[in-house]
Structure 1
Amino acid sequence: MTAPYRIATTLLLAAAGLTLAPANAQTAGIHRTDLVQHDLSAPDREGIQVRVDFEPGAIAPKHSHPGEEIAHVLQGTLEYQLGDQVPATLKAGDSLFIPAGTPHSARNVGTGKASELATYVVKKGLPLVVPAK
């Protein structure tokens, strides 16, 4: 990721109340760590993988992505709300596919810390997180 792109993305996410790594710019109770970002063989696509740690009761407000997301719960219990669907509760070892552009939120509904591994296949050059209206 180029420095100007990283700065612009970080500023946009911070303004939206969401974060992409650096660890010092965080939504209350949520800590994101970038793990991998790499161009894919598909034109104009990149893969991004992050670890997201949720303190008890923390929520990632409703948002969407310019591509698909696969969320895998590493520990704890997270509730995902996708669009108007019934909320899905996932525990450690469970995974969830989130279609491109689908507004969704996630919150820690357990008593301890919860963590997810989020993998994105997204369009290059667009903000990773788009706040839902």
Structure 2
Amino acid sequence: MMNRRLLLRTSSAAVAGALGAAALPDTVAAAAEATPGPSARPIGGSGPTDGVTRRLLQEHPSPAEGWEAVQTLVEIPRHKESGRHSHPGVEVGYIIRGDVLMEFDDRPPLRLRTGDPFFIPEGAIHNARNVGTVTTMMLSTYVVDATKPLVTTY
């Protein structure tokens, strides 16, 4: 049986969000089940999110019942973006490399550069747009509701 939360974390969030995990090709589901440890998979198909990856680094129960801590390494190629999405908890991040314009639905955008930390509140709809000259790398740590998908796309 495919772990839906793992699929949403490590494969195409745009596809999984729009179609549901069962609609993904068997080869994608089988690869996700067969891949031990952290893996990186593209977040979108062709278009502005093409080539974006979210690698699951670690996942642990939180001290607060029903919550978990999840850490990922996100890579966004030049001229690409994460796509509008939210998380069922907070995101605490750090820009390892690159320049990002973090766009929000409810506040002005935030320009982030190599070495900058960031914080995104629970449920905030946001989009990370690579505005630099290299592939952006972000370390993102989430404290999220364990019963919900890590990413909800819009």
Alignment counterpart, residue 31 of structure 1, candidates 53, 56, 76: 53
Distance 1:131 1:24 in 2: 16
1:1-133 mapped onto 2 (5 Å cutoff): 4-6=3-5, 9=8, 13=13, 14-16=15-17, 22-27=39-44, 28-132=50-154
What residue is the counterpart of 2:28 in the other structure? none
Tell me the CA shift for residue 71 of structure 1.
Answer: 1.8
Task: From the superposition, tell whether residues 112 and 39 of structure 1 become closer, same or farther in structure 2 (CA, over 3 Å).
Answer: same
1:113 is displaced (CA, Å) by 1.2
Structure 2 residue matching 1:52: 3-state secondary structure:
strand
The structure whose residues are more often strand, as a share, is 1
Note the residue ranges of structure 1 that are not aligned, 5 or more in a row. Answer: none
- The separation in 1 between residues aligned to 2:2 and 2:16, in whole angstroms, is 18
How many pairs were matched up?
129
SS in 2 for 1:59: coil
- The answer (yes or no) to whether the contact 2:41–2:55 under 8 Å persists in 1 is no
Is the partner of 1:60 in helix, strand or coil? coil
Greater gyration radius: 2
Partners of 2:87 and 2:17 in 1: how far apart? 13
In structure 2, relative to structure 1, the CA distance for the partners of 1:12 and 1:33 (3 Å cut) is closer
Q: Map Cα deviations across residues 51-106 of structure 1 (whole Å, 9 max, x no partner).
A: 00111011111111100001210001011012231111101110111000111110
Confirm or deny: 8 A CA contact 1:29 1:55 kept in the other structure. yes
Task: Report if the CA contact (8 A) 1:12-1:127 is conserved.
Answer: no
Mind listing any 5+ residue stretches in structure 2 that lack a counterpart?
A: 19-31, 33-37, 45-49
Contact 1:108 1:114 in 2 (8 A): yes
TM-score between both structures, scaled by the size of structure 2: 0.74
Provide the TM-score with structure 1 as the length reference.
0.85
Percent identical among aligned pairs is 33
Is the contact made by 1:82 and 1:98 (CA closer than 8 Å) also made in structure 2? no
